[in-house]
Structure 1
Amino acid sequence: MNVLVIGGVAAGTKTAAKLKRQDQSAEITIITKDKDISYAGCGLPYYVGGVIEEKEELIVNTPQKYSALTGVKVLTGIEAVGLDSDKKVVKAKNLSTDAEETYTYDKLIIATGASPAIIPIDGISLPGVFKMRTPNDAIGVRDYAETNHVRKAVVVGAGFIGLEVAENLKLRGIQVTVIDFASQILPNILDPEMAAYGKKHLLKEGIRVITGTKAEAVLGEGKVTGLKTSAGTFPCEMVIMAAGIRPNTAFLQDTGIEMFKGTILTDGHMQTNLPDVYAAGDCAMVTNRITGSRQWSPMGSSANMEGRTLAQIMTGDEKEYKGVLGTGVVKLPNLNCGRTGLTEEQAKAAGYDVITALSVTDDKAHYYPDAAYFITKLIADKTTHKLLGVQVFGPGAVDKMVDVAVVGLNMGAVLEDYENADFAYAPPFSTAIHPFVQAVYILLNKINGDMVSMTPAEYAEGKAEGYTVLDVGLTPAIRGAQYINLGAVKGELEGIGKDEKLLLVCTKGKRAYFLQNRLRHFGYTNTVALEGGVFFSDVKVKNTQTEISADEVTRVKGLGFLRDKTTADKFNGRVITRNGKITADETRTIAEAAELYGSGEVTMTSRLTMEIQGVPFDNIEPLREYLMQAGLETGGTGSKVRPVVSCKGTTCQYGLTDTFALSEEIHERFYHGYSSVKLPHKFKIAVGGCPNNCVKPDLNDIGIIGQRIPQVDLEKCKGCKVCQVTESCPIGIAKMEDGKIVIDDDACNHCGRCIGKCPFSVVEDYTDGYRIYIGGRWGKKASQGRYLDKVFTDKEEALDTIEKAILLFREQGNTGERFGDTIARLGFENVQEQLLKDDLLSRKTENLAAQKHLKGGATC
């Protein structure tokens, strides 16, 4: 049997290898236009982020190794361009020689996969625009980002690949914006309320996400400088196109093969309508395992399984490929997301009597270290109780929740099949009742009428209008709601009628259900529990004049909102503006936000952040979300690294350093990079472009001042009676001694004003650098910092020194003391010695993992 396989990645290589094992007499040839085969396509984003360190790790098999291992012949650089199924001939082009070649077959397997969809817009071919499909794409992105010091990138597409790329670019310290034409992230993968939760999480993690937005043009001359979209122009140095994929099937036009939107139609045996022609992988349309309807599910996992099953079918096994569930899992920053089966919308479209429940459960024993949570949405048929789908969020192993569902979906399980499932339990791994089983119990309670609930989607649609909100959390958490102490409910609730519409809300949903059960016993007939509680939904009570608790004041202070003491519920929100430099679009957004959510007034703080005045408490979260959509954030309080303050640098006549660029690097590396790191107290950083000291670097915990160190060529000195160098020195350090110019390096402040002043070029050359002050402070206990003896001429070394100072403060500082106090206690020489060595960096992981300074000393 002569078998020809077109395509050499997942489906093609898997089919060929299994087929050869099934039938050693088969002559099998793979032709592929790429030079690589069997590469780790799903691992490409992680090479970009450096999680996968070496590019060689992306190649699972070389053609030589694969051929030796399997006995399959592999021809690379051969592109199929036509098919004559009557003659059983494939026409191809040799990409090395441009020669046309033909390949005959007894059986043909088309496994050509898919390629990224390239949006036809201007500028798409500019350097800095990338796709993400092959190892060369990932290698190109990483190399370009490193070589060009990329600081901002836009990812077009909020699907699995787009979000994975976004996370990994962020790992590189790159500020990322994700746009998608769809109205939500992960379209057709998650239901809208789950997608909204994921989007809000990404925004909180510093990844800007803008949905419902169309890419219109890539901007730049010679390289990318921005992306024009229907939502505005986003400055960037890199654009990643991840807006879906298209099957590689253009060469099959006019061959008679049946296709739908470019995908090859196959039956349960992966066979096409053409005799002896099969298809598998991302180019093939298969079926949905639940509904039986046609479904395109281009995933590496299903491609491999399709290939294996096809090989068995072709060698006579009684096999059938029963279809896909659309299973997928994606890693987001500090949150994972998995799904399988039908979404709620898809289940309704398929004609099911759909019922859903959303639950928040522990992912392992709550007392075990690193215990976290699962947010699980189950979709089922209300009539038959058949499980239809699941969507899960959580910091941990969401894949195990999804896989539990996959087994049930494959077997046509109903919810009751899970009731007493004997899943593995030990505190490090799970809860005594498995989290998936807990979710099933909640949905069964809802189906059976034991629990009457409202889904987060229904709450977001306004279904709670007219309900009285009862807060049944462990402690009061919903402003304006009546708090109910669950343990104290022994009878009727005072002042609440038994037929009153009551929305019961707690943290995650369990206590609301318990209260509902108790109230039902006491005759209350109209109670509804909110699924997922305030953990998932942002619950608001309208028209409330309730006093804001001290805990809430503290909480929003951590978000950058300081209470205006002259009002009952107004706050002033600090908008982080990257050292006082913002774009015109950002300025407009801040002004709009002030009008929409505040008093319409904006002030500038002493540290060059902007403050929106008069924001009512209930407007804080809407304001933050409005700002986050524009890539802006609030904050700048607490015992942690504070926003950087910077002078105008080289835009000032005396500026020696591009302080805006430097301080933005510091902002990303330390304000963002250390945003979750607790310190003994606040830690302020200032960047000055020259010794004029405009932003007082020496009165901050750490300050950097640009330096220009003069290089004196005494052989050129003429001993002029009136020396232009001494005349230009603003601090009188340059002097004439014995007929020669002398500049005391220890006393010189390296302002650079003497450079180029001598007509005989005595002081023409110079070295740029940075002087670092440590331990300064302004306020009630003002003290001037002291500079390190070394003048740093390497920027990276200076940045490393800042990091070492932060690490030293965290490791050796006492909670509540400022950095200057730590230096005074340890001794300046001791601290300087540590900052000029690398021991602190070598202990970084252990240092940051330590549970220290949980309640720091900063009060604002």
Structure 2
Amino acid sequence: MQERNIVVTDRNKKMGEKTMKILIIGGVAAGTKTAAKLKREDRSAEVTVITKDRDISYAGCGLPYYVGGLIENREELIVNTPAKYAGLTGVEVKTGKEAIALCADKKEVIVKDVETGAEEAYGYDKLVLTVGASPAKLPIEGTDLSGVFQMRTPDDAENIRSYVEENQVKKAVVIGAGFIGLEVAENLKAKGIQVTVIDFASQILPNIVDAEVAVYAKKHLLKEGIRVITGTKADAIMGNDHVTGVKTSAGLLRCELLIMAAGIRPNTDFLQDSGLEMFKGTILVDKTMKTNLEDVYAAGDCVMVTNRITGKPQWSPMGSSANLEGRTLAQVLTGTKKEYPGVLGTGVVKLPNLNIGRTGLTEEQAKNAGYDVVTVVAPTDDKAHYYPDAGFFITKLIADRESHKLLGVQVLGNGAVDKMVDIAVMGINMGAVLEDFENADFAYAPPFSTAIHPFVQAVYILLNKINGNLVSMTPAEYAAGKAKDYKVVDVGLTPSIRGAVYVNLSQVNGEIEGLDKEEKLLLVCAKGKRGYFLQNRLRSYGYKNTVVLEGAQFFNDVKVQHAENAVSPEEETRVKALGFLRDKTTLDKFNGRVITRNGKITADEARTIAEAAELFGSGEVTMTSRLTMEIQGVPFDNIEPLREYLMQAGLETGGTGSKVRPVVSCKGTTCQYGLIDTFGLSEEIHERFFHGYANVKLPHKFKIAVGGCPNNCVKPDLNDLGIIGQRIPQVDMEKCRGCKICRVEKNCPINVAKVVDGKIVIDENSCNHCGRCIGKCPFNAFEDYTNGYRIYIGGRWGKKVAQGRYLEKVFTDKEEVLSVVEKAILLFREQGITGERFADTVARIGFENVQEQLLGDELLSRKEENIKAQKHLKGGATC
């Protein structure tokens, strides 16, 4: 070790002194938990916590939600301040102190003051290393650019949130599709930012869930508007002073914000020459959390513990296990005979409208551990199906075929997936086999669960599979092409699989005409139950080769090869909601509407649309009157592949149904007459109301147009709501000379500017505020002006035409304009009658009434109950 100028503090243990001096390096989860429990177990212990950061005991797992605004104040993330923690526990806390070397032979840690650089040696009787881990810094150019962040501390979260607000960030890229990366993506999306997540692995949540579960979750994220690209490497971060994009193996991804969440690495570099036994940066410990060095222990994100099922080493950097390890270690240090039993890798993540939880081994991990693995994928209700807000669980159970021992679980759902995971955790901890769950008396009431608990239902299905009562095909096997030689049998309540043989379960009382007893039959229903019932019935009638598809249509994209029959009305309605309208000259071809936000797309997006048209459609693209691009001639079976192809590029289909429609915009300030940035405003409206209100049903379609001037190119006054740029002249009458030929009068396009009695006069009630008069007076009487917005409501064209009327106020604040847009949508939902257009609503309740509501705040105060109300379930739009 190099020579250092060191001040030695009076912390070395003296002969005969009974007080145990414990030094803890690191003050977040494991460190503070160890210290607090130590003082509770032994008040005489002298416990000191040293940490480099100014914060201790902060909620690292809550950081993404602070960025998204769900957690409003930074203080809410700080569980304890150093002073408060010291007062509660009696632990001495020293912040701003960085451990830089361990001298185990001297029982000293060399510590540097981060502000002054001064070094000193801290002695100890027992040393606890809880140094945690930090985000891995990518070895690429550009990581130091402004707008590039990591996500580990409250300072990181605060800096990201400030940067987003100060720079009005519109596009972000998150590198890393693990828990933190996906949580950050969700919260950025909630702030109206377009988010792309990339990961070098072939799936999201690598080593956390199995591939088929990851595929389902990825498709869900794409549908929610979060672009996800897997199998993609970041090569360089682009920009001069600030980030402008990321160069990847999938091309250039433009962004104004980049979050690096591609894994973490233990903060153990300073321990490399200490003699400490480590593996890939993690500290190796035994079951008492002791290292190979005398009186040196470790816990938390920096240690390698054991897997509770396999007994093999596992790195599991989670806040939950860090706390458990710290508590156990404190008891060990104070003389309790106790061991830390290891981890299961339990985790849960919240995504937009989907939660994912897991514990134990994945299928792949279980196979690698030598188990004879058997699995099942089981969709179930999460509570009584008739109860309001009932949702679903998709549960994958992993077990050992011979012993029936439960090895792992993965659960997806829009509700409490954690309770499903927690049942599995307790079962695995107790060494449970599947039969132990068969008659488990779990809590039941319609608001909470189903009569037979969803976990128990999944166990029943897996036991049926093991016992041979159920012969099934897993989603992974189906995706790999195992069903190639099978005839698909649709066992749904109604026919829903195009090209499949439909069988009405309730009418099966013997052999089925058209189904051979020897041929391979794949039985598919909505969730799997009816398929199992049919298999059971067919078996008694001599059918030998029936297989039920696990997860059924709920989890799998089921297609019949070479299906040529017409699309059912139900399927036609379903894909219409996705933006695909059937070409009436064909049986199964559709025209898919690609949303362009406001009629403006990038060259990359245009190329993607053209490629998609060639790959999945006829190769032709048309423009609609709403400035969406429509890919022509898409066969029904190509709809989902086309949508996924577009979503990978950040594009989406849609623009139909009784909801807020895509915004149309003129060219705004790129036109010689444009007064406002229509592209910018319409993009904000698109994010706030087309996306933000995507799931809100209205009485009918609601169309919005933004025009840059009163020339009315995109007909704002013939939309349900229209916004027109205004330029209001501020006339300086003292400068008016009353010219015989007035240039202002001559240039007024609608002839409302008149010279009367030697002075220019403009009729305010007739002026349309086009701004053409500005700068025309040679004596500068028309130099000053105010930019603003005029809002029209109640227009429409089509079968019936209605001219919209403008609100009496000319708005000068863009946020106020956006607020009026939202209030108009809320008013239409609350007071409109299903099937009527907004123009009808305005006419029925009166323009003055509507105007008064739009200029007030009552509609916003009722927003939450309005959105939650079960209204307009059908809607009136037919296209």
Q: Into which bin does the TM-score normalised by the smaller protein fall?
A: over 0.9
- Secondary structure (helix, strand or coil) at the match of 1:821 reads helix
Q: What does 1:285-324 correspond to in 2, within 5 Å?
A: 285-324=304-343
Q: Which amino acid aligns with 1:649?
A: G
**Are 2:367 and 1:348 equivalent residues in the alignment?**
yes
For 2:864 and 2:749, how far apart are their aligned partners in 1?
46
**Are 2:253 and 1:234 equivalent residues in the alignment?**
yes
Q: What does 1:187-336 correspond to in 2, within 5 Å?
A: 187-336=206-355
**Are 2:655 and 1:655 equivalent residues in the alignment?**
no
Match of 1:108? 127
For 1:290 and 1:839, how far apart are their aligned partners in 2?
57
- Secondary structure (helix, strand or coil) at the match of 1:358 reads strand
For 1:84 and 1:738, how far apart are their aligned partners in 2?
97
1:367 to 361, 378, 386: 386
1:826 to 841, 845, 856: 845
Shifted more, 733-742 versus 385-394: the winner is: 733-742
**Are 2:694 and 1:639 equivalent residues in the alignment?**
no
Deviation at 1:373, TM superposition (A): 1.1
Match of 1:841? 860
For 1:191 and 1:176, how far apart are their aligned partners in 2?
24
Q: Which amino acid aligns with 1:408?
A: G
Change (3 A) 1:220 1:727: farther
- Secondary structure (helix, strand or coil) at the match of 2:604 reads helix
Deviation at 1:727, TM superposition (A): 2.1
**Are 2:109 and 1:93 equivalent residues in the alignment?**
no
Q: Deviations over 1:517-554 (max 9, x none)?
A: 11111111111000110000000001112221111111
Match of 1:601? 620
- Secondary structure (helix, strand or coil) at the match of 2:243 reads coil
Deviation at 1:222, TM superposition (A): 2.5
Match of 2:17? none
Match of 1:858? 877
For 2:144 and 2:760, how far apart are their aligned partners in 1?
56
Runs of 4+ in 1 over 6 A off after TM superposition: none
Match of 2:823? 804
Match of 1:575? 594
For 1:121 and 1:756, how far apart are their aligned partners in 2?
52
Q: Which amino acid aligns with 1:441?
A: Y
**Are 2:411 and 1:431 equivalent residues in the alignment?**
no
Match of 1:672? 691
Q: What does 1:643-722 correspond to in 2, within 5 Å?
A: 643-722=662-741
Deviation at 1:498, TM superposition (A): 1.1
- Secondary structure (helix, strand or coil) at the match of 1:351 reads coil
Q: Deviations over 1:818-849 (max 9, x none)?
A: 11111111111111111000111111101111
Q: Deviations over 1:75-114 (max 9, x none)?
A: 0000000010000110011012111111010100000100
Deviation at 1:509, TM superposition (A): 0.5
Tell me if the contact between 2:725 and 2:789 (Cα under 8 Å) persists in the aligned partners.
yes
**Are 2:81 and 1:69 equivalent residues in the alignment?**
no
Match of 1:412? 431
Match of 1:443? 462
Alignment size in residue pairs: 860
For 1:311 and 1:335, how far apart are their aligned partners in 2?
38
Deviation at 1:423, TM superposition (A): 1.2
Match of 2:405? 386
For 1:759 and 1:152, how far apart are their aligned partners in 2?
45
**Are 2:758 and 1:739 equivalent residues in the alignment?**
yes
For 2:529 and 2:679, how far apart are their aligned partners in 1?
50
Deviation at 1:224, TM superposition (A): 2.2
**Are 2:514 and 1:499 equivalent residues in the alignment?**
no
For 1:431 and 1:694, how far apart are their aligned partners in 2?
56
TM-score by length of 1: 0.99
Deviation at 1:720, TM superposition (A): 2.2
For 2:280 and 2:349, how far apart are their aligned partners in 1?
26
Deviation at 1:728, TM superposition (A): 2.0
**Are 2:166 and 1:147 equivalent residues in the alignment?**
yes
Q: Which amino acid aligns with 1:302?
A: S
Q: Deviations over 1:203-253 (max 9, x none)?
A: 111111111111122222332222221111222211111111110001001
Shifted more, 586-595 versus 416-425: the winner is: 416-425
For 1:219 and 1:720, how far apart are their aligned partners in 2?
58
1:26 to 42, 45, 62: 45
1:754 to 763, 773, 776: 773
Q: Which amino acid aligns with 2:57?
A: S
- Secondary structure (helix, strand or coil) at the match of 1:385 reads coil
Deviation at 1:555, TM superposition (A): 1.1
**Are 2:415 and 1:400 equivalent residues in the alignment?**
no
Deviation at 1:394, TM superposition (A): 0.6
Match of 1:10? 29
Match of 2:7? none
Q: Which amino acid aligns with 1:612?
A: I
**Are 2:534 and 1:515 equivalent residues in the alignment?**
yes
For 1:718 and 1:495, how far apart are their aligned partners in 2?
95
Q: Deviations over 1:739-797 (max 9, x none)?
A: 22222222111111111222221111111110001111111211211111100000000
Q: Deviations over 1:545-604 (max 9, x none)?
A: 222111111111111111111112111000001111111111111011000100000001
Q: Could you list the runs of 5+ residues in structure 2 that have no partner in the other structure?
A: 1-19
Deviation at 1:148, TM superposition (A): 1.4
Q: Which amino acid aligns with 1:522?
A: Y
Q: Which amino acid aligns with 2:87?
A: A
Q: Deviations over 1:611-635 (max 9, x none)?
A: 0000011111111111111111100
Match of 1:156? 175
For 2:254 and 2:709, how far apart are their aligned partners in 1?
29
- Secondary structure (helix, strand or coil) at the match of 1:503 reads strand
Q: What does 1:463-474 correspond to in 2, within 5 Å?
A: 463-474=482-493
Q: Could you list the runs of 5+ residues in structure 1 that have no partner in the other structure?
A: none
Deviation at 1:366, TM superposition (A): 1.6
For 1:547 and 1:467, how far apart are their aligned partners in 2?
21
For 1:453 and 1:162, how far apart are their aligned partners in 2?
35
For 2:139 and 2:711, how far apart are their aligned partners in 1?
51
**Are 2:58 and 1:39 equivalent residues in the alignment?**
yes
For 2:55 and 2:636, how far apart are their aligned partners in 1?
57
Match of 2:788? 769
Deviation at 1:19, TM superposition (A): 0.7
For 2:857 and 2:448, how far apart are their aligned partners in 1?
38
TM-score by length of 2: 0.97
